[in-house]
Amino acid sequence: MAGIIGYGAYMPRNRIKVEEIAKIWGADAPSYKKGLMLQEKSVPSPDQDTITMSVEATKYALKRAGIDPTRIGAVYVGSESHPYAVKPSGTVLAEAVGATPEAHCADFEFACKAGSAAMFVCMGLVDGGKIEYGLAVGADTSQGAPGDALEYSAAAGAASFIIGKDDGVAKVIDTYSFMTDTPDFWRRSYMHYPRHAGRFTGEPAYFKHVLGCANGMMEKVGMKPKDFAYAVFHQPNGKFPMRVGKMLGFTKEQIEPGWLSPTLGNTYSGSSPMGLTATFDVANPGDMILMVSYGSGSGSDGFVYEMTDKIDAVRDLAPKTREKLDSDKVYIDYGTYAKYRRKIRMGE
Amino acid sequence: MSTSARYWREIPQRYRLEAAKCTSCGKQFFPPRLVCNGCGGREFEATKLSDKGKLATYTVIRIAPSDLTQQAPYAIGIAEFDGGLRVTAQVADVDFDELKVGMPVRIEFRRIREEGEAGILCYGYKFVPVR
Ligand SMILES: [Zn+2]
């Protein structure tokens, strides 16, 4: 099977606190903080988008991979906030990191699962012998409608992976996917903000698919929660990944290293992939890791990784995800946030 | 020439910081040029600007050109890179009282400007402080 040769994550420096959003809409901040386990989220600057964050995350992944980027045979960016409606994000990324012109390229979209979908396809192409290395990115700068519950969580970030046929830092032991047609969250063409089905996004959507995928994945490889050092689940808020982990029989300690959402927010296509990078940062050779993504609409991709000795040699070659999240930040007020996210109607 | 054609032509420099080094005297150029102004040489080898430099000078723009008004105020700086190369770019993610000659900066890929609501998005490099 394929392996992850290099990885990297990037998030913007701006943060907004739950209290700052709640005060504008007269909402009860403590109930969001406690109910959804969210404290603050990342916010992109006006000059940052899915493409720019994909490039920075990929620069980190390439530092760790140490490969010549012209050997990359596939470039896939998964996002629900591609900057163009028509024109790929992947071409800009490929050009910026020096992977052109001999590479296959397409953008992926599957709500919050687009990043893991890109990883899944790269692994298949590597296993099938079609490419030597694949570049898979999950990145988003998603928006929630002002005052909507999603506004407290919709955040910005990117994770990038170089996938190749050698073991790399983490061997891909196996993959599994689980999906149905479930209208829990969507955005129609030309609409600025997504819509969601409220409480329906929980049980029949997130929990059904993450549980179905995690159980199917573990059954396929014949493993139980105690066999894993860590587990990473999609993080639409702070609460869901912890709850789904407990339902499956994982402990808080197994989930915590990759549990970024309380201070990062939901980075959509970047969410579980970024959690995986933070977990790689602390994992030891031989550790087994379960990752399960979730994308509305709905589906989950499951992965089982085994860390190799190479992780110790490469983890310090680029910024570590949790350290970057905790150290390099600046708080903005709602006015600045509204300006940055273009929520203010300007003169023509 | 349309903006998109000019933008496209400059992609190697704007995206990948491709520079040129004169093969006879070693002088480096960013962006690359056809004739070396040091020795008149016409042969160059491709190099890449290192991604870390030092701010040599800066200013804060408060009255911006029309396509950048929403970004104002913003800082512009000239930074010096390995080999003495000097590059001008916007300094992003900086508090203005943090700006100092000699401060270490690195390069990040950012959206530079956009051609109105319907035109192309132009990407390229900006400096950000090394923290
Ligand atoms: Zn010369």
Say yes or no for a CB contact (<8 Å) between A47 and B121: no
**String of DSSP letters for A104-132:** EEEEE-BTBTHHHHHHHHHHHHHHTTS-S
CA of B29 to the centre of ligand 1 (A): 10
Taking contacts as CB-CB distances below 8 angstroms, the residues of chain B near A98 are 16
Say yes or no for a CB contact (<8 Å) between B109 and A96: yes
Give me the residue from B11, B70, B110 closest to A52, CB to CB.
B110
Residue A273: band (very low, low, confident or very high) from pLDDT cuts 50, 70, 90: very high
Mutate to test the interface with B, among A42, A52, A68, A324 (most CBs of B within 10 A): A52
Asked if the model's pLDDT at residue A197 lies above 50, the reply is: yes
Element (H, E) at B44: strand B44-48
Residue B92 in contact with partner chain A when CB distance is under 8 A: yes
Q: How many CB atoms lie within 10 A of CB A208?
A: 18
Q: What is the pLDDT of residues A127-163, one digit of tens each?
A: 999 999 999 999 999 999 999 999 999 999 999 999 9
Indicate the pTM of the whole model: 0.96
Fold for the domain defined by B51-131: OB fold (Dihydrolipoamide Acetyltransferase, E2P) (2.40.50)
The pLDDT of residue A229 is 98
Q: What is the pLDDT of residues A306-333, one digit of tens each?
A: 999 999 999 999 999 999 999 989 999 9
C-alpha to C-alpha distance for A40 and A44, rounded to whole angstroms: 13
Asked if the model's pLDDT at residue A30 lies above 90, the reply is: yes
Mean pLDDT of A71-91: 97
For the record, the structure tokens of A7 come out as 């990885």
Q: Identify the closest residue of chain B to A330 by CA–CA distance.
A: B93
Please, what are the domains in chain A?
3-168+322-340 (3.40.47.10), 170-311 (3.40.47.10)
* A165 contacts A174 by C-beta, under 8 angstroms: no
The pLDDT of residue B1 is 45
CA of A100 to the centre of ligand 1 (A): 30
Domain spans in chain B, listed from the N-terminal domain onward:
1-49, 51-131
Mean pLDDT of A208-212: 97
DSSP class of residue A200 equals G
Q: What is the pLDDT of residues A54-75, one digit of tens each?
A: 999 999 999 999 999 999 999 9
Largest CA distance in chain B: 47
Q: What residues of A act catalytically?
A: 80, 112, 234
Left, alpha or beta for A207 (phi > 0: left; psi -120 to 50: alpha)? alpha
Q: What is the pLDDT of residues A31-58, one digit of tens each?
A: 889 999 999 999 999 999 999 999 999 9
Candidate from A15-24, A190-199, B68-77, B104-113 with smallest mean pLDDT: A190-199
For the record, the structure tokens of B21 come out as 């080094």
Asked if the model's pLDDT at residue B100 lies above 70, the reply is: yes
Q: Does the complex come out with an ipTM higher than 0.85?
A: yes
The pLDDT of residue A348 is 67
To the nearest whole number, what is the mean pLDDT of chain B?
Answer: 92
Say yes or no for a CB contact (<8 Å) between B111 and A98: no
The pLDDT of residue B2 is 63
Mutate to test the interface with A, among B9, B11, B115, B123 (most CBs of A within 10 A): B123
C-alpha to C-alpha distance for A175 and A38, rounded to whole angstroms: 30
